[in-house]
Amino acid sequence: MKKTVLYDAHVALDAQMVDFGGFLMPLIYTSITEEHNYVREKAGIFDVSHMGEFYVKGKEAGKFVDYIFTNDVSSMVDGQVLYGMMLYPTGGVVDDLLVYKVHNEFYIMVVNASNADKDFAWATEQQKFDCVLTNESDNISEVALQGPLAEEILQKLTDYDLSTLTFFTFSMMLINGKNVLVSRTGYTGEDGFEIYGYETEIKEIWKEILEAGGENVAPAGLGCRDTLRFEVALPLYGNELSKDITPLEAGLASISVRLEAGDFIGKDVLVKQKAEKTKRRIVGLKLIDKGILRHGYEIFKDGTKVGEITTGYRSPSTGETVAMAMIDRPFDKRGTELEVQIRNKMKKVVVRNKKFYTKSYKEN
């Protein structure tokens, strides 16, 4: 099992540690709800050093990334971040990822820890361009500072005017003398930053952020990372995305796919699927009866299976028992009453939108 550079810090904080993507990661420090609320109301700091980072360098770096990425890389400017996916020729998802454009001949891909090896092998197979693809995952560590007070806290540690760093852009900057990459991105639905650097740098920055933030920042584990991303309907690979689910079915086409731009692997399947309309899609569900909805529970209409829950929780922010679920059409329409099987009992659910909580990004 791999450990991040912050492993000792988590143990010192008495965190409950779990295996995630081959890494021993903090699940909970105090409680999921407490950490969740910290991120919604103040700020939380996450160790996300397990994430995978690939460098693509060379003359045709942009062409290569565009070829394996659903979003439009050719339109990117230096210092921009773009969300999108790598697809199999079937249209199923290899992984969802962020692409950072440093300049025309240097891009960084940030992928899920649990998929990093698979992604690198897949990307390497497709690499027939004049560029070099390297896996930098073992060299780069990362922390995410998320929440409405994130900017105020990080500003104490840098002369860079963070108010000029807009949503989904990044810059190299000095954080307490350490030259690191900072992007205004995240996975919580709140304003915030993701900070990439070498092990020793990230280890110091973690400590410095906690000191600078004082009462306004708390360490946040993977437990609340999942409830936070869930409430704003951000997908998790393995739940809302998989090799058997296309971005259209996941309902993520508008933010991750540009069919009108250049070709990419899997595009023809998406074009066809868009024309014919998908047979199923991810929607929100609300539980009418009592209980909790969980990943994998089956959904029925008049005794026939019509779908499955992808992620479910009692939303820590709203207290509602809700879920995201992959549902066959036409049962995906809002207000449709369906049934969910929970431990051999059928309970009533109703289809709703999947925005369980309103995002508060700093869009400009």
Give residues in contact with another protein (CB under 8 A): 27-28, 31-33, 223, 226-227, 290-292, 294, 313-314, 316, 343
Nearest Cα residue to 286 out of 343, 336, 233:
336
Which residue's structure tokens are 């790598």? Answer: 86
Query: Nearer to another protein by C-beta: 266 or 312?
Result: 312
Q: How far is the CB of 56 from another protein (least distance, A)?
A: 36
Q: State the nearest-atom distance from the C-beta of 293 to another protein, in Å.
A: 10
In terms of CB distance, is 92 or 223 closer to another protein? 223
User: How far, in Å, CA of 266 to CA of 246, rounded?
Assistant: 9
Rounded CA separation 62/148 (Å): 34
- Cα 259 from Cα 268, distance rounded (Å): 9
Q: Least Å distance between CB 144 and another protein?
A: 20
In angstroms, give the least distance from the CB of 266 to another protein.
33
Judged by CB, which is closer to another protein: 118, or 314?
Answer: 314
Cite the beta strand spans of the chain per DSSP E: 2-3, 16-20, 23-28, 43-47, 52-57, 80-87, 93-103, 106-111, 132-135, 141-146, 170-175, 178-183, 192-197, 217-219, 280-287, 298-301, 304-314, 321-328, 337-342, 345-352
Which residue intervals of 74-213 are DSSP H helices? Answer: 116-126, 150-155, 199-213
Torsion angle defined by CA atoms of residues 288, 289, 290 and 296, in that order, rounded to the nearest 10 degrees: -80
We find the least distance from the C-beta atom of residue 180 to another protein, in angstroms, to be 32
Query: Rg of the chain's alpha carbons, rounded to an integer?
Result: 20
Whichever of 91 and 223 has its CB closer to another protein, that residue is 223
**From the CB of 223, what's the least distance to another protein, in Å?**
6
Closest to another protein by CB, 34 vs 199, is 34
CB 227 within 8 A of CB 313: yes
65 or 325, CB closer to another protein?
Answer: 325
Nearer to another protein, 237 or 313 (CB): 313
CB 347, min distance to another protein, A:
10
